[in-house]
Amino acid sequence: MKISAIVTLKKDVLDPQGKVVHQALNGMGFSSVKEVRQGKYFEIEIDENDKKKAEEKAEDMCKKLLANLVIEDYKIIGSQ
């Protein structure tokens, strides 16, 4: 089972990387862009056929390794 997860900076944490992308987009003529925030995306292939169990495992991984919960949030966005 393949689980997709995203890890993003919490709302109040500054995101300099996103800001640079924002400025670059504005410079390229995309003037309607108001904000860009960047995060990480993980595709985790787990040897587990039960969707719920696989998602629980992925959540555990996010908590223990993939996300720094002090400044980041994680979200399981899909499984297939």
Residues that bind a copy of itself (CB under 8 A): 6-8, 18, 21, 24-25, 28, 30, 32-48, 57, 60-61, 64-66, 77
> Distance between CA atoms of 7 and 24, rounded to whole angstroms?
23
- The count of other CB atoms within 10 Å of the CB of residue 24 is 12
> Distance between CA atoms of 31 and 71, rounded to whole angstroms?
29
Nearer to a copy of itself, 36 or 76 (CB): 36
Q: How far is the CB of 16 from a copy of itself (least distance, A)?
A: 14
Q: How far is the CB of 66 from a copy of itself (least distance, A)?
A: 7
